[in-house]
Structure formats: structure tokens, C-alpha cells
Amino acid sequence: MPIVSAQSLSFSYELRDEEGNVSEHIDALKNVNLDILEGSFVTVLGANGSGKSTFAKQLNALLVPTGGTVFVDGMNTADESHLLDVRKTAGMVFQNPDNQMIASNVEEEIGFGPENLGVPPEDIWKRVNAALDAVGMNAYRKASPNRLSGGQKQRIAIAGIVAMEPKCIVLDEPTAMLDPGGRREVIRTLHALNKTRKVTIILITHYMEEVVDADYCFVMHQGELVMHGTPREIFSDVKTMRELSLDVPQVTEVAYELQQAGVPLPDGILTGAELTAALTAIRDGKDPAAAVREAGGFND
């Protein structure tokens, strides 16, 4: 059974003019159908205004669909009686690390979620310790969040969700405000959580590098789901990606331009190693696709 299932999901909100009359309906999501498998690492890509953040909020019942349904672990998010269970199943991490922390010290911050769930104190401590280990921040347990770097703060925010022991974590552009170092920290933490704890990760982002290692990828454009597939399938179609005003990883772009210039490269090159292998093969007169396969590509 998929952990998240959206069935002809639509969401629109109303814009009101100064007198409070409805002046315009904005369709943020239009007829989105998708299933996300339990234990997978999924990314949702899209330019600004593509509806990806609105989609993220649907999974946590912060917003409920105006059309269609969303099921999280079999529960309909529109059903009020499941509200807390839905939020317990799908934890959510937001963009700005400062604006999602409540307590003045790391330990208490992580304990906030379990406290809300009514977990007994001894168990809260166990969960807090486990969550701190899971994100590798045990050394900072007594620190004030104000003293941490952006990447560290975001890892604490993730730990705060991990301590609630959700089956699924939704992250709404968690790296948008971080420097490259902090971004790598956060993404590494997410992959570790996915591998060791089998937590489903749904990463909303517009950084292509973060998509490459995912199991599956959805691309959104103006409220619609326009592409889905493995990252390699998605990035093979450089032309469509460009039409959606999205980038592809730099290596893929170089390969695409070379291809356009007449170099017989195969589609869907994602890493530098693959590109080097393909170019070497062409120089030596061998089959570039086979060389890429040897370099570890195309096997997923």
C-alpha cells in the first residue's frame, strides 16, 4: 500500500479585494494523481509557483483538498478525527529553520513533538536521544538554537520530527536558506534516515543536485503534475525541463549540449564519471552507452 496517495487532488484558494469580496480563484493544484511507496526517497521538483509547497501542506493536513482526496497511510486527510494521526504519520520540516523552533534549547526543542503526543517523560528522553544520534547532533544537546549554523538548525528541526517517529517526513525546501555546506549536511542526514530507519522521505526542492540520488521524482508545473519517473528518466528530457524553466544537473547539461553539437552521447548522463567514461569510449572508438553502464550508470 502506498504511504501517500493523491487522487484527482485539486486545491484552490480565493483572493479577496479590499471589501472582502472574492475577486479571483487561484487553482494551486489541478487534478494531481500520484502514489508514493513506503520507504522510498521521493523528490518533488518545480519552479516557484508550481504548487509544490501547497502540495506539501496537503500531506500534513495543514491544508485540505478542495477537490479529490489525499490518503496518508490509508487515512483521509479531510477527516478531522484523523487529524493528529495524519500529522503523526507525516512529519513536516519547513524552509526557515528559525521560524519553526519553539524552545530555547536543543533538547527541549526536540522534545516538543513527543510532549504534544502525550508520550511519558522517560520515553521522551529515549526518543530525544535517538533523534539526536540519528542526525548526529548529540554534542549540541544543551546548546541554544540561536548558536547553531543554518544546516545544524535544520538538522535539529529534522530531529524534532524524527522524535515523533513518523513513517514519512515531508520537507518543504529545507535547504533553500542554507549555504552549500549546510545543504550537503541536511541531504546526507535525510539519506541516512531513509536507509537506516526506512523513513519515507518526500523532499520538495528546486535544487537539481538533491534530486539525482532520489528513488523517484515528480515534476510540477503551474499546479499540475507534468512529469514523473526516476531522476535519470526525468533528466534525459532536457528539452521539456527547459520548457518548464527548470535546470538539469550541470553534467547533464554539458552532455546535452555536446549531443546537440553532434557528439554521439547517450541520453541521461548524470555524473561526471559517467560523462568521462562515455567521452573516453568515443575517443577509443567503443560504445559510449556500454561505457556509461560500466561506470555505474543506467543500472537503476
Binding to other proteins, residues 14-73 (CB under 8 A): 60, 62
Q: Interface with other proteins includes 111 (CB under 8 A)?
A: yes
CB of 233 to other proteins, least distance (A): 32
Residue 292 CA to residue 294 CA, distance in Å, equals: 5
Pick from 29, 36, 119, 212 the residue near other proteins by CB under 8 A.
119
Q: Interface with other proteins includes 176 (CB under 8 A)?
A: no
Closest of 61, 94, 55 to residue 173, by C-alpha: 94
Q: Counting Cβ atoms within 10 Å, is residue 276 exposed (0-12), middle (13-18) or buried (19+)?
A: middle
Q: Interface with other proteins includes 140 (CB under 8 A)?
A: no
DSSP 284: T
Q: Interface with other proteins includes 147 (CB under 8 A)?
A: yes
Phi, psi of 167 (to 5 degrees): -80, -15
Stretch that binds other proteins, among 94-102, 213-221, 247-255, 258-266 (CB under 8 A): 94-102
Starting at the edge strand found earlier in the chain, the sheet holding 4-16 runs 22-36, 4-16, 67-72, 75-76
Pick from 8, 23, 33, 116 the residue near other proteins by CB under 8 A.
116
Closer residue to other proteins, CB minimum distance, 6 or 92: 92
CB of 133 to other proteins, least distance (A): 17
* HEC secondary structure over 47-99: CCCCCHHHHHHHHCCCCCCCEEEEEECCEECCCHHHHHHHHHHEEEECCCCHH
Stretch that binds other proteins, among 124-132, 222-230, 251-259, 287-295 (CB under 8 A): 124-132
1, three cell numbers:
500500500
Closer residue to other proteins, CB minimum distance, 103 or 254: 103
Q: Interface with other proteins includes 281 (CB under 8 A)?
A: no
How big is the site for other proteins, counted in residues (CB under 8 A)? Answer: 40
178, three cell numbers:
542554507
Closer residue to other proteins, CB minimum distance, 32 or 90: 90
Query: Is the torsion defined by CA of 156, 44, 89, 39 positive or negative?
Result: negative
Contact positions vs other proteins (CB under 8 A): 60, 62, 84, 87-88, 91-92, 94, 96, 98-105, 107-108, 111-121, 124-125, 128, 144-147, 160-161, 164
